[in-house]
Structure 1
Amino acid sequence: MNRRKLIQSLAVGIPGILISSKLSAFAVADEAVKEFVEKIMAGPFKPTWESLSNYQTPDWFRDAKFGMWAHWGPQCEPEAGDWYAREMYMEGHWKYKYHVEKYGHPSVFGFKDVINVWKADKWDPEALVSLYKSVGARYFMALANHHDNLDLYDSKYQKNWNSLKMGPKKDIIGGWAAAAKKHGLPFAVSVHAAHTWSWFETAQRSDKTGPLAGVPYDGKLTKKDGKGKWWEGLDPQELYAQDHKLSENSEDNGMIHKQWHWGNGVTPPTKAYIDKFYNRTIDLINKYNPDMIYFDDSQFPMWPISNAGLKIAAHFYNKSIKDKGKLSAVITGKILSDDQKKAMVWDIERGQSNSIEPLPWQTDTCIGNWHYDRGLYNRKGYKTAKTIIHTLVDVVSKNGNLMLSVPVRGDGSIDELERAVVEDIGIWMKANGESIYGTRPWKIFGEGPAQAKSAALTAQGFNEGKGAPFGEKDIRFAVKDKALFATVLAWPKNGSVMITSLPEGSANYPEKINSVKLVATGQELKFERNAEGLKVYFPQQQPAASYANALMII
């Protein structure tokens, strides 16, 4: 029997797969090689931008406003911050020095070995999701894989390098998904592994100086190199994906950002690599039925060199319609054109829009670094609840959602400083959530001096914290039913605030104002309306978390 007939015979009776014309990806019975390409579920959406532009953001997402994210995987084990698996291979970088001191030289102890020592022995997904729901999160997201390429789920196509076979030997996504379901939260997954191809190129390097100069790091190791090692029988290339020529200017550590769009001299990924990413993601969707997928990509993953991301989106949207009778799925992506924003939800990383967006969007940010950083904990460098709430109120006024990451330690727990921030957020949300959940943007998003000093977006975002801080003259608006919410972003020092957007006879609000309440307490407040605006008198007693004070105006 020739190889093609053997592969076809192996596939007989296996539902949901097609045989690719190229036979190059996965070993079978130690001798045959087969490449299954998962089917796209039939439905109204096709894998084209034109078809996907018929997407409509579901109301659950628009109403939720506030989600929380466990951006947690093996890169949290060293507790040295984000992009550890890339930067540990950069000679001279502090993470390289840290790695050598803690684990040994990356020619001997590479990232595959970090995965091996990651045990997640204090991970309690139910307890963390319960905490996040109690403080006001209305959806929850978990990392499914990062650029380090380890799948944190029962992965059919990353069958050796996943969290059930390696490290914790636990189904991380399965645990998070069960906890989210128990607490009635929509469940999201974040998928970052499309860029492993170029991101991990640092693992192909070697030291340029010192006693080990010229000794290659472990990024080019293959299965045959594992004899007598803990990973004997495994192929590190299934993880590192570095059996390829380096991209142009790969030694320039910043080049990865310029090549994120799969251009500017990046070595093109093979079809087998792209197909494997596609299959892994379809498998993730089919096994765990997430409500939302966050892609750490410009547009859909692999675009514009492949339509793999378009195929994933069509499958996900069609599956949502089939399973739930309506489209309730959400996909987020970055750096989108106006037309691309019609096909998915625009995500802004660590930043926010400076105007009301016509379509729903999301900002994702973190109270610290994306992966856990012990140094930040020691410096007490986390964002405060005040900063997070100010961001949330501003984002919601502009038709957005906030996805907040709380870094998780390698062992699966969060530290006491993080917990205190989370609990403080909960105090405000319990008192003022009515002004957030289920709201929509008003005719204008707000008023006040901070907006005049706001910073423009750069790349996928990154304008948070670059403008002026919010104060008592900064007010943000949102509406729900017949109520207008005006949130004053500090407690007024003189006991009153003038809302200049609401003068008598205002075109924005021509109706009579009958009532102004402090949402946190339900207290009716004295007010005056004249040609200058609406003057509201605050009570003497400040409620808890009075750094943002929502007023309900009817």
Structure 2
Amino acid sequence: MKKLFTIFMLLISCLVSAQKNQIDWKSLSMNNEVPEWFKNAKFGIYFHWGVYSVPEFQTEWYPRYLYFPWSEVHRYHKETYGPISKFGYHDLIPLFKAEKFNAKEWVTLFKKAGARFAGLVAEHHDGFAMWNSKCTPWNSVEMGPKRDIVGEIEKEVKQQGMKFITTFHHARNFQRYSDPKVLKTELTKEYSAERRRFYRSHFPYYPGTHPASNDPKLQYLYGNMPTEKWHKEIWLGKLKEVIDQYDPDIIWFDSWLDEIPENYRYQFCKYYLHRAKERGKETVIVRKEEDLPLSVSVENLENSRKSDLHPLTWETDETISYGSWSYTTDLKIKTSKHLIHELIDIVSKNGVLLLNISPRASGEIPADQQNVLLEIGTWLKQNGEAIYDTRTWYTYGEGPTKEPEGNINNRKLFDALQYTSEDYRFTKKGNTIYILSMGKPIVGSTILVNAFAVTKMSNGKKVKRVSMLGSNKKVDWAMETIGLKLSVPEVPNEISVVYKVEME
């Protein structure tokens, strides 16, 4: 018996060791330095658009709240479409027709807005794939629009010279509460907010509802299937499909990636990075939280950003509105000034901005969103040399306005930020420093930029020439002990005036 026990323990030890040896993040890190094209890009656009866009009500999390009896979404759905038992989330799919969707027009708009990369939410939490999928029958080719949305966007993005991004939010889709013991524990918990119930899965698990269905087809949409099958065939399987069929330059993950076993996360990274190497290209993986090593990924901050200069390239994903990420009838759109100031602040701190827009289910991009994108593009056409292909200076900026710490919980504080004419941000390109104003200076006045103070300019370089982007008028300047004094000969735009300071 002792001999058998020893052999058994050795086998277990070997299996554990083999499992550990399969996960070697260090070997992958050798293959994935953040590529220069991503550091240079600075600005990208994507969109939340899918079945959840059909109701145009409250939130892109409509599929989740639909199945909570207490929610406003549940009430609205019942009043609009009938009893949930007879008209569930999957019954909205035929109404997602995308009849006015034109990939070329959309991507042309993104290009005019100044985006260097563009793409879409390939799959949100709801289990509906926006591509021609063999992993699930719930996809945009077999149902709804009956078009390969990912494929059409990918073709146009690449034809128009941009990098292609696909984002994945499907880690939440798996039904983690189907185990009777887990379900019982969940239902007996007391929550300060009922909306937190079943939080590890997108769909709440109430017996008798669609997310708890044993129907084999419905299980593919609502994520109610055996654990290993879902991890391998759905989570990883869908990623491999998109990599093989559409060759994205960026794959971006929403939160809750930590719900996926590390082995599967590692398998994905290995597959994607090795496929990129075979194709002779440099790719980027973006993640939130701390669920992938930074040696193989880029950090993302949702609706927030760094409060200081950061040594590693990072990213913010931000939406064009103050509310839902998908279209709703009451969506309040941010101004181009707000978003450009955010872009400037992000770039000055070594970041990249990924901006979300919210099309209607029909395939229309509302006029107010289009106008904001075009205004961003106009500013970038005049001042883009201070954004694209730049790097950080020794300091990101100066002025009285400070950002809160980067966290989505502070979204309202970030949204409420108002910069002043005394706030400046800096970027660098070779021997040129760009000073980007965050407020409108007064024509005829003089401004002082303290970052150029003699005591701070330790490299001994001196100012050779100063000009203003978008202006032919002469800028008077003087180097003083306490900083660089600049005249304001004109204001070429109302959002951010940019000085170009050439050093020698």
TM value normalised by structure 1: 0.78
Residue 373 of structure 1 is matched in structure 2 by 328
Change (3 A) 1:181 1:110: same
Letter aligned with residue 98 of structure 1: Y
For each residue in 1:434-490, what CA deviation from the matched residue of structure 2 results, as whole angstroms up to 9, or x when unmatched? 100000111111111112xx2123368747626742111111111012110110111
Shift, 1:509, TM fit: 5.7
Letter aligned with residue 236 of structure 1: L
Residue 473 of structure 1 is matched in structure 2 by 422
Letter aligned with residue 479 of structure 2: R
Give the Cα–Cα distance (whole angstroms) in 1 for the partners of residues 474 and 241 of structure 2: 54
Secondary structure (helix, strand or coil) at the match of 1:340 reads coil
For each residue in 1:351-385, what CA deviation from the matched residue of structure 2 results, as whole angstroms up to 9, or x when unmatched? 10112221111100011221111111xxxx21110
Secondary structure (helix, strand or coil) at the match of 2:478 reads strand
Letter aligned with residue 276 of structure 2: S
Secondary structure (helix, strand or coil) at the match of 2:378 reads helix
Letter aligned with residue 123 of structure 1: F
For each residue in 1:22-62, what CA deviation from the matched residue of structure 2 results, as whole angstroms up to 9, or x when unmatched? xxxxxxxxxxxxxxxxxxxxxxx985322233320011111
Gaps spanning 5+ residues in structure 1: where? 1-44, 207-215, 224-233, 244-268
Give the Cα–Cα distance (whole angstroms) in 1 for the partners of residues 22 and 474 of structure 2: 53
Secondary structure (helix, strand or coil) at the match of 1:374 reads coil
Give the Cα–Cα distance (whole angstroms) in 2 for the partners of residues 459 and 506 of structure 1: 34
- Does structure 1 residue 345 correspond to structure 2 residue 298? yes
Change (3 A) 1:503 1:122: same
The aligned length equals: 452
Please identify which structure carries the higher helix content.
2
- Does structure 1 residue 295 correspond to structure 2 residue 253? yes
2:314 to 351, 361, 378: 361
Residue 354 of structure 2 is matched in structure 1 by 403
1:457 to 371, 388, 406: 406
- The within-5 A match list for 1:166-245 is 166-198=143-175, 202-205=203-206, 216-223=208-215, 235-242=217-224
Letter aligned with residue 285 of structure 1: I
Letter aligned with residue 50 of structure 1: K
Give the Cα–Cα distance (whole angstroms) in 2 for the partners of residues 149 and 447 of structure 1: 45
Residue 228 of structure 2 is matched in structure 1 by 271
Secondary structure (helix, strand or coil) at the match of 2:383 reads helix
Contact kept, 8 Å, 2:35 with 2:284, in 1: the verdict is yes
Contact kept, 8 Å, 1:145 with 1:191, in 2: the verdict is yes
Contact kept, 8 Å, 2:118 with 2:162, in 1: the verdict is yes
Contact kept, 8 Å, 1:87 with 1:96, in 2: the verdict is yes
Give the Cα–Cα distance (whole angstroms) in 2 for the partners of residues 46 and 322 of structure 1: 21
Residue 553 of structure 1 is matched in structure 2 by 501
Change (3 A) 1:307 1:471: same
Contact kept, 8 Å, 1:477 with 1:484, in 2: the verdict is yes
Residue 280 of structure 1 is matched in structure 2 by 238
Question: 348-357 vs 45-54, which deviates more?
Answer: 45-54
Shift, 1:537, TM fit: 0.8
- Does structure 1 residue 139 correspond to structure 2 residue 110? no
- Does structure 1 residue 319 correspond to structure 2 residue 269? no
- Does structure 1 residue 53 correspond to structure 2 residue 29? yes
Change (3 A) 1:463 1:56: farther
Contact kept, 8 Å, 1:519 with 1:550, in 2: the verdict is yes
Residue 475 of structure 2 is matched in structure 1 by 525
For each residue in 1:479-511, what CA deviation from the matched residue of structure 2 results, as whole angstroms up to 9, or x when unmatched? 012110110111223722210111235335632
Residue 435 of structure 2 is matched in structure 1 by 486
Question: 507-516 vs 142-151, which deviates more?
Answer: 507-516
Letter aligned with residue 121 of structure 2: L
Change (3 A) 1:117 1:349: same
Contact kept, 8 Å, 2:132 with 2:140, in 1: the verdict is yes
Residue 98 of structure 1 is matched in structure 2 by 76
Give the Cα–Cα distance (whole angstroms) in 2 for the partners of residues 402 and 412 of structure 1: 24
Contact kept, 8 Å, 1:47 with 1:314, in 2: the verdict is no
Secondary structure (helix, strand or coil) at the match of 2:358 reads coil
2:131 to 153, 167, 172: 153
Residue 507 of structure 1 is matched in structure 2 by 457
Change (3 A) 1:390 1:400: same
Give the Cα–Cα distance (whole angstroms) in 1 for the partners of residues 469 and 408 of structure 2: 37
Secondary structure (helix, strand or coil) at the match of 1:294 reads strand
Gaps spanning 5+ residues in structure 2: where? 1-20, 176-199
1:334 to 288, 305, 312: 288
Q: Tell me the percent identity.
A: 30
Give the Cα–Cα distance (whole angstroms) in 1 for the partners of residues 341 and 83 of structure 2: 44
1:419 to 363, 370, 391: 370
Shift, 1:222, TM fit: 3.8
Shift, 1:140, TM fit: 0.3
Secondary structure (helix, strand or coil) at the match of 2:311 reads coil
For each residue in 1:140-159, what CA deviation from the matched residue of structure 2 results, as whole angstroms up to 9, or x when unmatched? 0211111001111111211x
Give the Cα–Cα distance (whole angstroms) in 2 for the partners of residues 47 and 392 of structure 1: 37
Contact kept, 8 Å, 1:348 with 1:460, in 2: the verdict is no
Shift, 1:513, TM fit: 0.8
Give the Cα–Cα distance (whole angstroms) in 2 for the partners of residues 79 and 394 of structure 1: 32
Contact kept, 8 Å, 1:301 with 1:308, in 2: the verdict is no
Residue 165 of structure 1 is matched in structure 2 by 142
Letter aligned with residue 331 of structure 1: I
Shift, 1:542, TM fit: 2.2
For each residue in 1:118-150, what CA deviation from the matched residue of structure 2 results, as whole angstroms up to 9, or x when unmatched? 111110111010111012100002111110011
Change (3 A) 1:46 1:270: closer
Shift, 1:320, TM fit: 1.1
Change (3 A) 1:363 1:508: farther
Give the Cα–Cα distance (whole angstroms) in 2 for the partners of residues 271 and 406 of structure 1: 35
Letter aligned with residue 359 of structure 2: V
CA RMSD of aligned residues (A): 2.2
Residue 70 of structure 1 is matched in structure 2 by 47
TM value normalised by structure 2: 0.85
Change (3 A) 1:538 1:316: same
Letter aligned with residue 298 of structure 2: V
